[in-house]
Amino acid sequence: MFIKKYEETTHIIYKIFGIKFKIKKELNNKILLINSSQDIIEIKKIKGLDIKFKGSNNRIIFNEQIPIFKNSKIYCQNNATIIFNKNSSFNELIIDALGENNQCYFGNNFTNTKYLLISFGREPNLSCNIGEDCMFATNVIFRLSDFHTIIDNETNNITNYGKNIVIGNHVWLTQNVTILKGVHIADNSIIGTGSVVTKDCNIINSMYAGLPAKIIKTNISWTRECPNEHTSTQCKSIVEKKKKYSNN
């Protein structure tokens, strides 16, 4: 056999009579901006964002506007789709979409203080959906997978497959919050400092805290401004605006 063929993630290697030839695969990974006219523009690099494509057919999509990124990284395996919307900023965002067909979505007006990890754990067909006007503090972690396997000794079945995470609109995750697989957080919620969320927080206009997180207050609203920056009249106006979440 005079010709040998090897495959790497990004290249095909042929060895012919002892001489190696390396040919780059057509990976079809794209970074796309969809502008306000619905034109699709392909982009090569984003300032502050390091994108590592490990496989093929991945799409990073920016809707109308490219957010502000600082020290951020995205890792994709195969067929990942990650969508960002406008008026957003990210500081030390890390997404490891290293399973097949992973999806991640950020709504408009997203901000985080510093360090946000969204980890899919190499499991396939998982999605993380974050709604509009969300605010995350420092050191927020999303784990859609347990990373290691738990087996039922009676049935030999795996009991801990990964699950999707859904964050509603206008959700404030405070410092050192961890969101585990399968969680849904309702609109206009607050998750208290250091909480670990293991189950749905599905009552809107509420605050949750603890290990694991439980509801501690209802019928609340929140804003990005400091408490001393609001008058009672302004607070009334804010509450009226937030009532839209009660009608969804």
Q: 3-state secondary structure string, 200-230?
A: CECCCCEEEECCCCEEEEECCCCCCCCHHHC
Domain-located, residue 19:
no
For residue 176, give both structure tokens. 């050192």
Domain-located, residue 168:
yes
Domain span at 216: 28-247
Domain-located, residue 61:
yes
> One-letter amino acid identity for 185?
I
Tell which residue, 156, 28, 195, has the closest CA to residue 183. Answer: 195
Q: What is the 3-state secondary structure (H, E, C) of 68-100?
A: EEECEEEEEEECCEEEECCCCEEECEEEEEEEE
Q: What is the CATH number of the domain that holds 147?
A: 2.160.10.10
Give how many domains the chain has, as a whole number: 1
pLDDT band at 67 (very low <50, low <70, confident <90, very high): very high
For residue 36, give both structure tokens. 């306000």
Domain-located, residue 80:
yes
Domain-located, residue 8:
no
Cα separation, 177 vs 202, in Å, equals 17
pTM for the whole thing?
0.87
Q: Which helix (H) or strand (E) holds 42?
A: strand 40-43
pLDDT in tens, 173-225: 999 999 999 999 999 999 999 999 999 999 999 999 999 999 999 999 999 88
pLDDT in tens, 100-140: 999 999 999 999 999 999 999 999 999 999 999 999 999 99
Domain-located, residue 14:
no
pLDDT band at 231 (very low <50, low <70, confident <90, very high): confident
Cα separation, 31 vs 245, in Å, equals 33
